Copies of this chain bind each other. A is one copy, B any other.
């Protein structure tokens, strides 16, 4: 059932002991939503914990460092920025059918929750959270505002991407001027700082990138062997797909990640008007126009050929044969 802000607020005020669920492979938006909500609920004298199937990534330590889980039996389950109950991940899967309220901004939300508060025009779930707290009349503080700022900034690539809205700029202005958010420190941590390991990987990727169709398609392959050789934690391999469309002229960037011997996870990015969601559907996958994916089985050569065939087709190389 879709609910509006008033109904969501009524629900929130009516309960006292909250488990707040985030999606697996947590990002700034799900964590910013969850930790801000946790702080708001505790401010109101309620009990609340933040739960996640995976560990909180190091870069979000400002959100979780001061956080202490409380001991209590949950009475209400709220999921934030979780579009599908499958995304709760393995260790939260038992909550799938018991989410009382989901607060989200994904148009693809499957409405698995009892109540869904959805604003598909919001750039980030944290934008919805901000409106919620405003409507609740809760006075925020620097910590809560920083959580919200982090969510909005990370989901929009620091106000860079298409999904950035005038509204999220206005909210950023509010958070900065009213609550003294240390935005420069947050942004440096989210967008500018790299570990030495990450730098090594990026160097590898950049120097081993392959180009096809007059440089209009770029491709990187991360083999299982490579990830082992690097001896680097898997989290450092996240987000490499965006590197494939950094080069001028590249229209479609492909990342092939070997999951096991003959299973490959494909991530595709579009730098222009090319619809990679349509391309990935041909490979049995799907996603958004500018970012999509698929999973393929076969030898590395077979997988590469299948990808290049559909990408070549999309770029108008009809007769291209490997």
Using CB atoms and an 8 Å cutoff, list the residues of chain A in contact with chain B.
Answer: 157-162, 164-167, 169-170, 172-174, 176-177, 183-184, 187-188, 191-196, 199, 202-203, 206-207, 242, 245-248, 271
Contact = CB atoms under 8 A, between A and B. Distances in A.
Given A169-B173, A203-B206, A193 B248 contact: yes
A203 to B, nearest CB: 6
A193 B218 CA distance: 13
A239 B174 CA distance: 31
Given A169-B176, A199-B246, 10 more contacts: A159-B172, A159-B187, A160-B184, A160-B192, A166-B176, A166-B177, A169-B169, A170-B170, A193-B248, A199-B247
A69 B149 CA distance: 43
A176 B271 CA distance: 21
Nearest to A271: B188
A308 B26 CA distance: 41
10 contacts: A158-B160, A160-B188, A161-B184, A162-B184, A164-B184, A166-B176, A170-B173, A188-B271, A192-B246, A193-B271
A140 B159 CA distance: 22
A161 B187 contact: yes
Nearest to A196: B247
A194 B248 contact: yes
Nearest to A209: B199
